[in-house]
Amino acid sequence: MLSFIARRLAIAIPTIVLVSVFVFFLQKLLPGDPALVLAGEERDPETLAFIREKYHLNEPILTQYFYWISAMLQGDFGISLRTNQPVLELIADKLPVTIQLAVMAMFIAMIIGIPAGIVSAVRKGTAVDYAANIIALSGLSIPNFWLGIMLIMLVSVNLGWLPASGYESPFVDPVRSLETMIMPAFVLGTALAATLMRHTRSAMLGILRADYVRTARAKGLRERVVVLKHAFRNALLPIVTLSALLFGELLAGAVLTEQIFTIPGFGKLIVDAVFTRDYAVVQGVVMCTAVGFILMNLIADVLYFLLNPRMRTAL
Amino acid sequence: MSVAGDIPAAGSKEQPRSGNRAWNKLKANKSAFVGFLLVVFFISIAALAPLLPIADPTATSWGAIRNAPSAAHWLGTDELGRDILSRMIWGAQASLLAGVVSVLIAVSVGVPFGLISGYFGGWIDQIISRATDALLATPFLILAIALAAFLGPSLTNAMIAIGLSAMPIFIRLTRGEVLAVKTEDYVEGAHAIGLPTPIILVRYILPNVFAPILVQATLTIATAIIAEASLSFLGLGQQPPAPSWGSMLNVAKNFMTQAPWMAMWPGIAIFLVVLGFNLLGDGLRDALDPRET
Amino acid sequence: MRKSLLAALLLSASTVIAPAMAADLRIGLQEDPDVLDPDQSRTFVGRIVYASLCDKLVDITPDLEIVPQLATGWSWSDDGLTLTMDLREDVTFHDGTPFDAEAVKANIDRSQNLPESRRKSEVKTIQSVEVTGPHQVQFKLKGPDATLLAQFADRSGMMLSPTAAAAAGVDFGANPICSGPFKFAERIAQDRIVLEKFGDYWNADAINFDKVTFLPIPDTTVRLANLRSGDLDMLERLAATDATSVKGDDSLQYEEAVSLGYQGITVNVGNGDRANNPVGQDARIREAFSLALDRDAINQVVFEGAFAPGNQPFPPTSPWYDKDHPVPSRDVEKAKALLKEAGHDSLDVEVQVANNPVQTQLMQVVQAMAAEAGFNVKLKSMEFASLLSDQSAGDYQASQIGWSGRVDPDGNIHQFVTCEGGINDSKYCNPEIDALLDAARTSTDLEIRKEKYDAARDILNADMPLIYLYHVTWIWALSDKLEGFTPYPDGMIRLENVKFK
Amino acid sequence: MKHFAQDTILEARGLGRTFTRGGGLFQQRTFVRAVDGVDLAVRRGETLAIVGESGCGKSTLARTLVRLLEPTKGQVLYEGNDIAHLPARDMRRLRKDLQFVFQDPFSSLNPRMTVGAIVEEPLTVHTQDNKTTRRQKVAGLLQRVGLRSSMADRYPHEFSGGQRQRIGIARALASDPSVIVADEPVSALDVSVQAQVINLLEDLKSEFNLTLILIAHDLAVIRHMSDRVAVMYLGEVVEIGDTETVYGAPRHPYTQALMRAIPVPAPGMRSMHADLPGDIPSPLNPPSGCRFHTRCRQADERCGIDGPTLETTDGTRQVACHHWRKVTEDQTRQKQEPPRSVATAKRFSLYREWSRKKMSNGPSSSPVVTTTQRKDKNA
Amino acid sequence: MVESLEMQSDVTAGSRLLTVENLAIRFKNATANTVDGISFGVDRGETLCIVGESGCGKSISALALMGLLPMPPAEIASGRISFDQKDLLSLPAKTRADLRGDRMAMIFQEPMTSLNPSFRIGDQIAEGVLRHRAVSPADARRRALEMLERVKIPAASERLDDYSHQLSGGMRQRVMIAMALANDPDLLIADEPTTALDVTIQAQILDLMRTLQQETGTALIMITHDLGVVAEIADQVAVMYAGKIVEQGPVQAIFDDPQHPYTIGLMSSLPSLGERQSRLTTIAGMVPTIDRMPSGCRFAPRCPFTTVTCEAQAPALSAVSDRHLAACHLAPLENHLAEAL
């Protein structure tokens, strides 16, 4: 097990290095001189020169990369060019927010998507299956940001039921936290629910055709037991793996939703940073999401490993 | 002499070709057909936009700003008094073009890499795979935003940005499919008759990984349309005064209370066309799946 | 009164919580401020926070008169080279450090010498600061500077605790210590900035809130929705298009003030090769362009009439406005004639514009109007960061950009049109203008200054390196629970005497 | 018994193929010696069968013989030249002579190519024929395997399993090869279709003077088709000899057990007691010494330590067993169905006669068959 | 062997366990019945082999007996199945499920995939016991162990906690048998239980099944395409072709006195282990697909003896001798064809 994780990590390292290269060079290609943005409206030449000097903006790009990566390796993610806050601190501030959002969205997605997928697989070809599929496809087809805007209009502006934006830590005010998060989590959750539903359905369809399900029926087991115990237990493997991967995507995928609901998470941080050319933040956050994503991939693999007796007993 | 014993008795009745068969299956699949109709509908209005008897999508009218839907303007007018219906119709061009072109870019760059990576394996596979992992680990929209910002806001650049961001999906998909197809007997058979590698790649591997790529491409068009809308929504896509659904939404969100219809129509249109591509993609998946008969 | 669903349930479950204790004010901001260090910060929105956090040496009235704040009085030497200022004696910083002449000296020193300082140009005329008494300072100037007091009414005049500033250095912004009515409590980037009442504030009686929370909510619709739902008590920069709806809402109050700044089109007349085109080289064409625009209509279409049409760096309401050059009414025929005179029937113009919906909407209107006079305007929409760097590098033909405005007129004009002006992206250069504007900034005599500016206006109106379009009106929307708010043209939110009813 | 020209066309010398498994994420790197040191000579014009149970390496051996898999050790001599180390380009040219027929008629044809294109491809690669000539040859080949030439435009999925196997055979024939390796060519087919394909293969073999290497697990099919048979167990050849000899008097204990296990389509013919205990050991971890010793009744201490090599026993038969001398031949008997009653025998001969008659008359839908001279092997 | 079979028949003779009458199964949108009116019976302790090529409907019939046929798309078009005097087709689904795994059990072709990979094999055996017997989990587990020992799995108590992938194909099939027999069913249906196995393992499994059947007196329906297996294990044989039973009778009669041309053709197609034939006799053509099912005798298009009658009219299954039935207009061939020749 440990050696498996170690091997998996060994593969992750070149990936992370490549991510760092992508991230760094990509945003160095971004047009616009960050010094100009940072110098303020007056753009005092002395200040400009100083900023360029301070952030190594006038040095060759490879040198800049070297500065950045070596600082990064020492745990120094730099400071935000815009707010002077350490990037690590920003990340520490935002990560729990995004994780909370992702967890809630995942939860919503799972309680909708998995049962719907099971039912539609069991009732394949019936109206229920058809309806579930259409709803799922609709969930996938609605642009997230539009759904968000519409919900804000309806639920917050017209009905006044939920706050339109904002964030509260669940440890400070759980009720308020839930209130502010439920809509964005729902918006994110719908698309995920659709994805989960479709995967659950196809996994279940495959498994319900499997010989061992027929064996279970041949034992006279109740259909409920056949479906929920024998079939679903095996469908769980791809579903859990997929969920871990989706969770990894969520960490980075909430970009527009956070923007619309003004949720101070990773997505908002990174979009704002791109637009204000806050290099250190872009680099730090993308690295962080990429590592998070890779980590979730790893967790998906480990879960696959743990849930699959074939893998487990192979050791 | 062993004679053709097992020729079908009613040999005169020609069986349909594989392409026809897929098409027939697609037609038989109601939801896929609905998707097909939706896609055809939007493609035709986009293509026919110049011929339709509609207002100039950029003609402003200071006297008719943000008018609610009426007989004169079926879908209302926007913040500059332009007819939303005609902007919707012309905007379909941008959305569809963005969806299709960006996927073409993704496919034409991603598939060759995937082919090479999957077929040859070894260090080249390692390099391509790690780079693909790295690209996949970078959030799609962030990648697209950064690329779009780098290239400068325009529809073309948004398409390139989305295309390049969607590329790793195709690398990975193609690679996986190639790995599966590579071990098929008929590929071994191609080796057995002594075919050179390029021919094996082009005649044996590529056609047999084509179906899943086509399905994925159709589904990715849906994603790309949303991505274009998202980029336009952030101001990085289609540039004014030319219309696109995403940029219409971008403006509309400022007038949510005063002119909700401005946000309704583009949202619904995006939803429908994306739904169309998703339905079609699903249908294609079933139709092209040799197992489902 | 709209309440959030869960909160309403909670409220009905528990007994009524004393409403009087809720002296927490929540203000919606359009953006997240940058670093909270007055010497380093550069955003408009940051100044709104400073208004509650950091007192300045002087303040302004809504009519832009300079009035005492931390300085009780001041006097100019006859040669205009020495400014003597008496300081308030009952002031301490949030960290307990007393405010005195040494503190002022230290602050000016920091503004001038901190490498990261963005204030250098604002205080560069100060030669030295002399401590002439525990609560008196003298500013020795390199030359006469009429703008200095106005600078002291803004970030350059904000006094930071010298002990804290010395200790924190460049990281002061992480925990800013000033002497304003509220002290810094916490900041969560992009989420909130929380200030708490400073008990030892010299003017504590005028302060009625225990806590102020600034919440950046960029989306105007969402910001307004939050105000309506009671999650905010007030917001700044209401979208002009929402004005009518707010005015019609009994539970909300509407306040506005025409800003000090302007929005316009900067034309590249001398900044590199791209200036070599008819628009950049022929003032008649620029005038034609200006005449093709109906500024009132623009205001009506884009801002529902809430803003102020303009043709100068100062709004028509400003005392500095030159009434000899009123906002021109649209004259397409004359525009066409001028264009013809310059040898063109029609002309391509590329204008870059920031890719936000309002500015692009504005430019689309301009585009449509200019078209009627023969201008074929091509819009190049770009991100603000790219726009700035292209503009600065001269890689543009014309650029839609604005200025947030300064209290002193000099701040709105000098650096844009003088040959060596720091933000002269147009690279307009006219020694005559330089002379007039330099004279205007050194005189403390308002009459003389006005004359100089008017003289400069005569020339600039003809040369037209910048085509002014309109002046933003700051609009605030407040809950009707609040009272005592005064709108200021600088767009700040001053909380003195504001309270819940 | 038939005697062929005794020259060897294809020969394996110490041939081995090791698969490396794992080294991936989940497993330790393991080595499977699927084929281990096989010496085998294939005579020109004969049918050599390789038989064994699943996992014994017979398919791997077949592929390694024609270098569809690269051997990891040893040599393969074709017409006396080592092809195991031939450059890829030269090897491609040689494939004209060495053709392969696959087991699974459903996966061995490219589903995206027409049948005509599939059969034509070897001609394109290996001949200078122009398009028209190739087309004609394809038509002829299709007819020869019992398909109509008009079927060339169709795709593989439009054909039944038996027809596909015919297409596979046509493709193998196209380049006019001298050796065909057929890997379980009929095991995926139903009995009645299987018989058709077996007949076809036999006809073609004599018609085109082919050497046939046949991989199969069905002992009756092998018995019917092959001249010599090699029995494999866990990567090694344990017995090789003329079919009649091996079937009639198997020497290796494994061969004997195999022969006894053959189900006979006559009630009461097979001994009801399975006398080969246990499972086939995992090829990942084969037993030491003689690989069969874990299941062998004859095994003693020596067998666990020291692997036997092939020894020639009688005539050309070779056996790899330390105890072959002790293993009595009469333990096994020739399996044979009991004689049929007169009426039944008549029915069978009626069936044979009428079938033949019906076919030569040809069903209305049958193609115009090129009447090729057929040499009846046993005539 | 013959003796022991006779002995067994004596014990249970005359006691009919299962009767299938005129069973027809049709799939949605099909133009013909996939299984078209088959009738047969199985006595207690008896072994019936249903033999035929792929697609002849033998597996579908077996699934229908068990009530495992997915309906839709399949439906029972007509017929009766009575098991132990109960009319199975009229029973509610719940009651049928109660019988399944208890009175009637089934094992399948693919031992590799028929066991649930996620559960330990002991639990999978015990599950069926718990479902049908009022026993404690511990007792069920004990029963599972006992069954593993009965199917001669070495070190059974250790194997109890294995997962299926840890077992070889033969071992898995043993586990399947253990599972099926755990509740002492009256009827065991085995669908090609040895097809996927190597020939030496196949012999072991057949051996085991026969031994267990003798011990328990369970009736066995064996579905197979392998005449060798039939010869070895059957008491009674039903030969199916294209959804119909074409010939039926005691094993000896079928092999010694085959009547139907299809049966004869099938036997002729097999390479003989005896004298080497020069060529195999084949059955021309291929099995008709369901949408091209001939209206008369379904074998007519492939039959060398087809007459006009054959094409027009489907022959009924009629007695050739005691308990030996064949569905051919020309049976016995030699009588009819002697004249024709």
Structure token pair of residue A155: 């639920």
Q: How many alpha carbons fall within 13 Å on the CB side of residue A63?
A: 7
Instruction: Using an 8 Å CB-CB cutoff, list chain B residues near E283.
Output: 5
Q: How far is E155 from chain D (nearest CA, A)?
A: 13
For the stretch C337-375, pLDDT in tens is 999 999 999 999 999 998 888 888 899 999 999 999 999
Is the residue at E261 inside a domain?
yes
User: CB of B193 within 8 Å of any CB in chain E?
Assistant: no
- Separation CA E117–CA C338 (nearest Å): 86
- Domain A94-313: CATH superfamily is MetI-like (1.10.3720.10)
Average pLDDT over chain E, rounded to an integer: 83
Q: How confident is the model at residue C400 (pLDDT cuts 50, 70, 90)?
A: very high
Q: How confident is the model at residue C20 (pLDDT cuts 50, 70, 90)?
A: very low
Is residue C124 domain-shared with residue C147, that is, in the same domain?
Answer: yes
Neighbours of chain A (3+ CB pairs under 8 A): B, C, D, E
Q: How far is E302 from chain D (nearest CA, A)?
A: 9
Q: Which residues in chain B (1-30) have CB-CB distances under 8 A to chain E?
A: 2-3, 5-10
Domain boundary among C104, C133, C162: C162
Rounded to an integer, the average pLDDT of D246-260 is: 85
CATH number of the domain encompassing residue C109: 3.90.76.10
Q: Least CA distance to E279: which residue of chain D?
A: D199
* pTM as predicted: 0.80
- Separation CA B77–CA E236 (nearest Å): 83
| Residue B10 reports pLDDT greater than 70 | no
Is residue C206 domain-shared with residue C314, that is, in the same domain?
Answer: no
- Separation CA B168–CA A236 (nearest Å): 27
- Separation CA B196–CA A98 (nearest Å): 52
Confidence (pLDDT) at D265: 78
Residues in chain D: 379
Confidence (pLDDT) at E6: 38
Confidence (pLDDT) at B289: 66
Give the nearest partner residue to A42 out of C32, C121, C219, using CB atoms.
C121
Q: Under an 8 A CB cutoff, do A157 and B150 touch? A: no
D/E interface, count of CB pairs below 8 Å? 196
Q: How many domains would you assign to chain E? A: 2
CATH number of the domain encompassing residue E336: 3.40.50.300
Domain boundary among E139, E163, E182: E182
Q: How far is A19 from chain D (nearest CA, A)?
A: 22
Q: How confident is the model at residue B9 (pLDDT cuts 50, 70, 90)?
A: very low
Residues in chain B: 293
Where are the alpha helices (H) located in B77-154, listed in sequence order? 84-120, 122-137, 140-151
Q: Which domain holds residue E26?
A: 5-103+185-270+280-340
Q: Under an 8 A CB cutoff, do B9 and D99 touch? A: no
Domain boundary among C162, C192, C210: C162
Q: Which residues in chain A (262-301) have CB-CB distances under 8 A to chain D?
A: 301
Which of A3, A7, A308 is best to mutate for the D interface (most D CBs within 10 A)? A7
Is the residue at E332 inside a domain?
yes
Q: How many domains would you assign to chain C? A: 3
- Distance set, CA C102 to CA C37, C99, C459 (Å): 19, 8, 45
Given a contact cutoff of 8 angstroms between Cβ atoms, the answer to whether C461 and C469 are in contact is no
Looking at domain D8-22+30-97+177-331, its CATH class is alpha beta
Rounded to an integer, the average pLDDT of B103-113 is: 93
Domain boundary among E147, E163, E182: E182
CATH number of the domain encompassing residue C285: 3.10.105.10
Q: Which domain holds residue C223?
A: 182-259+474-500
The greatest distance separating any two alpha carbons of chain C, rounded to the nearest whole angstrom, comes to 79
Give the closest residue to B174 by CA, choosing from B247, B117, B101: B117
Q: How confident is the model at residue B21 (pLDDT cuts 50, 70, 90)?
A: low
| Residue B2 reports pLDDT greater than 60 | no
Which of D294, D344, D346 is best to mutate for the E interface (most E CBs within 10 A)? D344
Is residue C436 domain-shared with residue C447, that is, in the same domain?
Answer: yes
| Dihedral sign from CA coordinates of D1, D2, D7, D10 | negative
Chains E and C touch (3+ CB pairs under 8 A): no
Residue with more model confidence, A44 or C445: C445
Q: How far is E229 from chain A (nearest CA, A)?
A: 23
| Residue D1 reports pLDDT greater than 60 | no
Of C189-203, D88-102, D357-371, the one with minimum mean pLDDT is D357-371
Element containing residue E39 per DSSP (H, E)? strand E35-43
DSSP secondary structure of A70-130: HHHHTT---B-TTT--BHHHHHHHHHHHHHHHHHHHHHHHHHHHHHHHHHHHHTTTSHHHH
- Separation CA C5–CA A101 (nearest Å): 20
Report ipTM (2 d.p.).
Answer: 0.78
Domain boundary among C101, C128, C162: C162
Question: Domain ranges in chain A?
Answer: 1-87, 94-313
Q: Under an 8 A CB cutoff, do B4 and D107 touch? A: no
Residue with tokens 């003693």: D300
Q: Which residues in chain A (242-281) have CB-CB distances under 8 A to chain E?
A: none
Is residue C80 domain-shared with residue C137, that is, in the same domain?
Answer: yes
Is residue E302 domain-shared with residue E164, that is, in the same domain?
Answer: no
Confidence (pLDDT) at D231: 92
Q: Which amino acid is at D234?
A: L
Q: How far is A72 from chain D (nearest CA, A)?
A: 29
Is residue C292 domain-shared with residue C400, that is, in the same domain?
Answer: yes
Q: Under an 8 A CB cutoff, do B260 and A153 touch? A: yes
- Separation CA D197–CA D162 (nearest Å): 7
Chains C and A touch (3+ CB pairs under 8 A): yes
Question: Domain ranges in chain D?
Answer: 8-22+30-97+177-331
Sheet holding C398-403, edge to edge: C308-309, C466-471, C262-267, C398-403, C347-354, C375-382
Average pLDDT over chain C, rounded to an integer: 89
Given a contact cutoff of 8 angstroms between Cβ atoms, the answer to whether B99 and B222 are in contact is yes
Rounded to an integer, the average pLDDT of C437-443 is: 89
Confidence (pLDDT) at D29: 67
Q: How far is A287 from chain D (nearest CA, A)?
A: 25
For the stretch D259-290, pLDDT in tens is 888 877 777 665 555 567 777 787 777 888 88
B/C interface, count of CB pairs below 8 Å? 68
Chain D residues whose C-beta is within 8 A of a chain A C-beta are 25-27
Given a contact cutoff of 8 angstroms between Cβ atoms, the answer to whether D102 and D168 are in contact is yes
Which stretches of chain E drop beneath a pLDDT of 70? 1-14, 274-277, 338-341
Is residue C325 domain-shared with residue C243, that is, in the same domain?
Answer: no
| Dihedral sign from CA coordinates of A52, A58, A61, A67 | negative
Confidence (pLDDT) at E8: 40
User: CB of C386 within 8 Å of any CB in chain B?
Assistant: yes
Q: How confident is the model at residue B138 (pLDDT cuts 50, 70, 90)?
A: confident
Is the residue at E275 inside a domain?
no
- Quote the percentage of chain D above a pLDDT of 90: 6
Is residue E320 domain-shared with residue E207, that is, in the same domain?
Answer: yes
Fold (CATH) for B29-50+75-287 = MetI-like fold (1.10.3720)
Instruction: Using an 8 Å CB-CB cutoff, list chain A residues near B274.
Output: 140-143
- Separation CA B255–CA B266 (nearest Å): 14
Structure token pair of residue D7: 């020259």
Q: Least CA distance to A30: which residue of chain C?
A: C386
